[in-house]
Amino acid sequence: MQGIILLKNKICVIGLGYVGLPLAHAFSEKYEVVGYDINTSRVDELNNGIDRTLELSEEKINKALLNGISFSAKLEDVKNCNIYIVTVPTPIDEQNEPDLTPIIKSTEAIASVLSKNDIVIYESTVYPGVTEEICVPILEKISELKFNETFFCGYSPERINPGDKEHTVTKILKITSGSTPEIAKKVDELYKSIITAGTHLAPSIKVAEAAKVIENTQRDVNIALINELAMIFDVMDIDTNAVIDAAATKWNFIKLTPGLVGGHCIGVDPYYLTHKAQTLGYVPNLILGARQINNGMGKYVAERTIKLMIQKGINIKDSKVLILGITFKENCPDIRNSRVIDIIEELKDYGCDIDISDYWADETDVMNQYGFKLHNDVDINCYEAIVVAVAHDKYKTLKFNNEKQVVFDIKSVLKNSDGRL
């Protein structure tokens, strides 16, 4: 009987990016779904079966369209929904403070079409308290409905890993929560109906919000430790990866590798937690210290590359340097918060002439976001230095002239390189 009741729901997923689109697709297997996004170009592309994030194939999108999913940039197309799921980004500003503009704007839009007994579920990463202390008052004011009387909320943090075709949305265990015990159960049952990996019902929305934000904070701190160890072992002239391999023979050692920490999660989420902690008078020194270490890795890579060039007698001024990779991770087109930019800017300050190549990235997106053109048709032998910044599969088989050029391999994917983390 419960399944029949659930199937009567009409779901609106707000935000059709790396998180929202796969989620909308998964729900469309069992429910009537409207995917809403303010980006009309994105909506048009999806209606034509095109997903520039490469999370869904054209075949999957077209099949979902035939089965009844719809994509729209018009609010009037979602006002008949009774469950709204917010999956918009939650970035940081230039001062590393949370920028809640996307989630606030989305909340305002939902509030304008909210009806009695509707449920609003947030998946965007936030600090504990955002749903009930910031979003709920907006929903109440605009809709003129009463929280936990005539409308309800839930929080179920996203755990999407962009580019990962194995750990897809339905195969990742989902945290759920609701604003009342009854709504928490309904939210949990809703997700449980599509998440084959199962769900974990948290005791409150704040607990679910906190659980999400510490997931990536933990990874950030752990990677910062490995990055600092890499810098220490470099001074000692010890191979960091050999040390990690040896240490990893112990059963409880967490094996991570040094590298750049970018993307929309690990390099951003800790700032949400530190912001909230500091507003309450607590200074999170460990978390902020980890952020400082990881934010400095681009500068460190650039300096290492320059030193290696000097050792080979290469003139730094006007030297041609090729950066291989601009996305924030391997085999994925996502360029958000890519820390490869730090390497590029630092090498430019040394007077190097930089070309950037990345066969995964969208050239228009790179130009719009970072302001430079990609050079994907290049002769790697024409450069004095090459930085393999992202471990895309094709880069692992490239052959370099290590006698005449410097090759710095950030992710240690090459058999021969002059330097690596």
Q: Give all domains of the chain, ordered by start, each with its CATH number.
A: 2-203 (3.40.50.720), 211-295 (1.10.1040.10), 297-421 (3.40.50.720)
Report pLDDT for 401.
Answer: 78
| pLDDT computed for residue 3 by the predictor | 38
From residue 141, alpha-carbon distances to 146, 155, 286, 309, 412 in Å are 9, 20, 39, 61, 54
Cα 123 to Cα 60, 256, 289: the distances in Å are 23, 27, 27
388 in helix, strand or coil?
strand
The pTM of this model reads: 0.93
d(CA 146, CA 148): 6
Cα separation, 288 vs 372, whole angstroms: 31
pLDDT digits (tens, 9 = 90+) for 58-103: 999 999 999 899 999 999 999 999 999 999 999 999 999 999 999 9
Total number of residues shown for the chain: 421
Give the pLDDT of residue 403.
82
Count CA atoms within 13 Å of residue 348 on its CB side: 11
CA angle 164, 167, 171 (to 5 degrees): 150
Q: How far, in Å, CA of 283 to CA of 279, rounded? A: 9
The residues annotated with a catalytic role in the active site are 265
pLDDT of residue 416: 85
Cα 374 to Cα 333: distance, rounded to the nearest angstrom? 13
**pLDDT score, position 7:** 52
Residue 4: what pLDDT? 35
Exposed e or buried b per residue across 361-391, where buried means at least 16 C-beta atoms within 10 angstroms of its C-beta: bbeebbeebbeeebeeebebeebbbbbbbbb
SS3 243: helix
Low-confidence stretches of the chain (pLDDT beneath 50): 1-6
Helix (H) or strand (E) holding 323: strand 320-324
